[in-house]
């Protein structure tokens, strides 16, 4: 098992913490809402082929809570862009909110990408053609905002966890995890808001690296529709994580880690790649 190191980068006048482990081709991993870089710690320690880097997004992990949750999304975009540029050439992996940030960053025609893996990105602006799915997420967001406006942070946190996990999941959380969520639920809620003003278009240009799509077998309908949209766009199949929901990299991490390693091991730096050759269904 490899030793994990923790470092910091100064990004927009904030100390952004990140984990680093291993040697070889670089892999940069971005975690989901309400989580932290430690989400990837098992994968980082167990693998022996790659140099892994996993930052804490704004307000998460070892990073300080910010003064304004409404502006944290801007910092998150800068974190993702900075880590991509700093550690390129690299493989990129994102889950949920981290995958949505990654999806947006890669539309800026960044170079030196070895591969990109999107695990259920919460890119809800892509659901504009799926009225019922968009309404489902809109209803969730409006409920969270209403709870926050009423000062009901616990109820908002409970609603968020139970929606993305399973009914009554909140009751099974350790009290430390509950407190972690309660402290950050306003920031988590504001992570949804860009879906109301972003374009529903995907604007990638000259994708020359392999793209992997992964979704849990039991994930939510809105996520399934997003994954279908991405599958059609990139012309690749979606890998199904068995017996898993949206939080598969946390709840089924051994399965996800194994799938990630199988994907990454297929490609070496410098190899050319035709996206039309990859069909994972």
Counted domains in the chain: 2
Amino acid 2: pLDDT: 80
For the chain, the average pLDDT equals 93
Dist. CA 205–CA 180, nearest whole Å: 39
- CATH no. for residue 94? 3.40.50.1820
Q: Are 136 and 271 in the same domain?
A: no
Average pLDDT over residues 63-82: 95
Which domain range does residue 49 map to? Answer: 5-125+199-277
Provide the pLDDT confidence category of residue 267 given band limits of 50, 70 and 90. low
Q: Are 79 and 40 in contact (CB under 8 A)?
A: no
Per the structure block, which two tokens stand in for 245? 């929901």
Q: Are 39 and 89 in the same domain?
A: yes
Average pLDDT over residues 118-136: 92
Q: Are 256 and 213 in the same domain?
A: yes
- As separate numbers, helices (DSSP H) first and strands (DSSP E) second, the chain gives 10, 8
Dist. CA 279–CA 281, nearest whole Å: 6
Provide the pLDDT confidence category of residue 201 given band limits of 50, 70 and 90. confident
Stretch among 9-13, 97-101, 182-186, 194-198 having the lowest mean pLDDT: 194-198
Amino acid 280: pLDDT: 38
Average pLDDT over residues 52-65: 98
93-120 pLDDT, tens digit each: 999 999 999 999 999 877 899 999 999 9
């Amino acid at each position: 098992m490899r030793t994990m190191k923790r470092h910091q980068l100064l990004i927009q006048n904030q100390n952004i913490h990140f984990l680093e482990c291993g040697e070889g081709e670089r892999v940069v991993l971005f975690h989901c809402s309400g989580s932290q870089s430690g989400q990837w710690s098992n994968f980082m320690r167990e693998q022996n082929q790659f140099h892994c880097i996993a930052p804490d997004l704004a307000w998460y992990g070892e990073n300080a809570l910010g003064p304004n949750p409404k502006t944290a999304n801007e910092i998150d975009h800068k974190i993702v862009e900075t880590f991509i540029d700093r550690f390129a050439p690299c493989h990129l992996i994102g889950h949920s909110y981290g995958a949505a940030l990654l999806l947006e960053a890669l539309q800026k025609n960044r170079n030196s990408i070895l591969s990109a893996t999107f695990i259920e990105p919460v890119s809800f602006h892509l659901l504009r053609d799926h009225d019922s799915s968009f309404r489902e997420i809109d209803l969730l967001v409006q409920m969270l905002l209403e709870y926050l406006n009423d000062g009901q942070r616990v109820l908002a946190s409970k609603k968020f966890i139970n929606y993305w996990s399973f009914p009554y999941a909140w009751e099974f959380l350790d009290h430390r995890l509950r407190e972690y969520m309660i402290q950050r639920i306003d920031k988590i809620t504001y992570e949804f808001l860009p879906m109301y003003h972003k374009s529903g278009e995907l604007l990638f240009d000259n994708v020359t690296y392999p793209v992997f799509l992964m979704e849990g077998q039991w994930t939510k309908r809105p996520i399934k529709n997003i994954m279908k949209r991405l599958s059609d766009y990139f012309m690749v199949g979606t890998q199904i994580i068995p017996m898993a929901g949206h939080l598969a990299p946390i709840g089924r991490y051994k399965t996800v880690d194994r799938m990630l390693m199988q994907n990454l091991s297929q490609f070496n730096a410098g190899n050319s790649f035709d996206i039309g050759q990859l069909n994972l269904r």
